[in-house]
Amino acid sequence: MKIAIVGPGRMGSEVAALAREESHEVVTTLGRDDAISRDTLAEADVAVEFTLPEAAPDVLSALARAGIDAVSGTTGWSDHLPDVRRVVKEAGTGLIHAPNFSIGVAVFRRWLRTVASDLDGLEEYDVALHEVHHTRKVDAPSGTARLLAETILAETRRKDRWALTPGDGDGGPLDAGVLRITAERVGWVPGTHEIVLDGPDDQIVLRHEARSRRGFARGALSAAEWIRGRRGVFTLDDMLDERLTSRDQGGEG
């Protein structure tokens, strides 16, 4: 694949390094002062974008108008998704976006749907979410924690909203309808997410622990291969659904 990297930061660099290791070609790297156009992207098959929340909607619209399929890993721009979707549709290009490109997290969410749908029949267990990230992270809860929380809320009637809480001892009565999220910032942790089911006699913990940024880069590269030649806006779930379904069917389709 001939790849354009858009956003030469930590994730852009990780994707570029892995792409070269896997014998892809990084044909251009575009930063905030570079134009996005058919000319600057002429050699690329696909663009991989990891920029900033405030930049992503314009960058993704420009990539679509330049006629290039794209992978977007930037978090925090989902309010602008309808506008970006319209531009992608008009342009007839493909876009796959996810706040977490780790295949492991996507699998974790598939399993979480099953667990969360059982909660309505397991009144004795409460559920909560805990996430840990490095101290340079600016947003809390993480985009992934929000995604996991929304996954739970969609499957159970016992929780109708989530709230970030400072942690144990923050005071105030607990509203049983609230899914509590705690966020911890320490050291260099690339991303750990835990779903805790706590009952009177035991505790079940589902835990995903990223070891490095590599898993995000690997998922983004898989997504880059997958999105080429598709039209419309997709998420990592669409890609994984297709991958696991075609495996169920014996690898065809």
Ligand X SMILES: NC(=O)c1ccc[n+]([C@@H]2O[C@H](COP(=O)([O-])OP(=O)(O)OC[C@H]3O[C@@H](n4cnc5c(N)ncnc54)[C@H](OP(=O)(O)O)[C@@H]3O)[C@@H](O)[C@H]2O)c1
Question: At 225, phi and psi to the nearest 5?
Answer: -70, -40
Q: Is residue 52 a contact residue for ligand X (CB under 6 A)?
A: yes
- Of the residues 46, 59, 70, 129, which one makes contact with ligand X according to CB under 6 A: 59
Cα separation, 57 vs 232, in Å, equals 15
CA distances from 76 to 98, 146, 188 (A): 10, 10, 21
Marked catalytic residue, from 24, 133, 159, 193: 133
Q: Does 216 bind ligand X (CB under 6 A)?
A: yes
CA dihedral 6, 141, 243, 90 (to 10 degrees): -50
Q: Is 100 in the site for ligand X (CB under 6 A)?
A: yes
How far apart are the C-alpha atoms of 202 and 197, rounded to whole Å? 9
Out of 16, 19, 75, 148, the residue judged to bind ligand X by CB under 6 A: 75
State yes or no: residue 247 binds ligand X (CB under 6 A). Answer: no
Residues in contact with 228: Cβ distance below 8 Å, sequence separation at least 6, in sequence order? 1, 45, 46, 69, 94
Instruction: Assess 95 for contact with ligand X (CB under 6 A).
Output: no
Shortest separation between residue 6's beta carbon and ligand X, angstroms: 5
Minimum CB separation of residue 244 from ligand X in Å reads: 19
Q: Which is nearer to ligand X, 98 or 119 (CB)?
A: 98
- Is the torsion defined by CA of 243, 248, 252, 253 positive or negative? negative
Note whether 113 binds ligand X by CB under 6 A.
no
222 binds ligand X (CB under 6 A): no
Catalytic residue selected from 2, 80, 89, 137: 137
Whether 193 is catalytic:
no
Q: Whole-angstrom Cα distance, residue 101 to residue 231?
A: 20
Task: Identify which range of 94-102, 118-126, 152-160, 200-208 contacts ligand X by CB under 6 A.
Answer: 94-102
> Which lies closer to ligand X via its Cβ, residue 12 or residue 119?
12
- Determine if 10 is a binding residue for ligand X (CB under 6 A): yes
Does the protein bind ligand X through residue 234 (CB under 6 A)?
Answer: no
SS3 string of 153-189? HHHCCCCCEEEECCCCCCCCCCCCCEEEEEEEECCCC
- Known catalytic membership, residue 80: no
- Interface with ligand X (CB under 6 A), residue from 4, 19, 30, 66: 30
Maximum C-alpha span of the chain: 64
Residue 3 has what DSSP assignment? E
Does 73 participate in binding ligand X (rule CB under 6 A)? Answer: yes
Using CB under 6 A, list all residues that contact ligand X.
Answer: 6-12, 30-32, 50-53, 55, 59, 73-76, 98-101, 216
Question: Which are the catalytic amino acids?
Answer: 133, 137
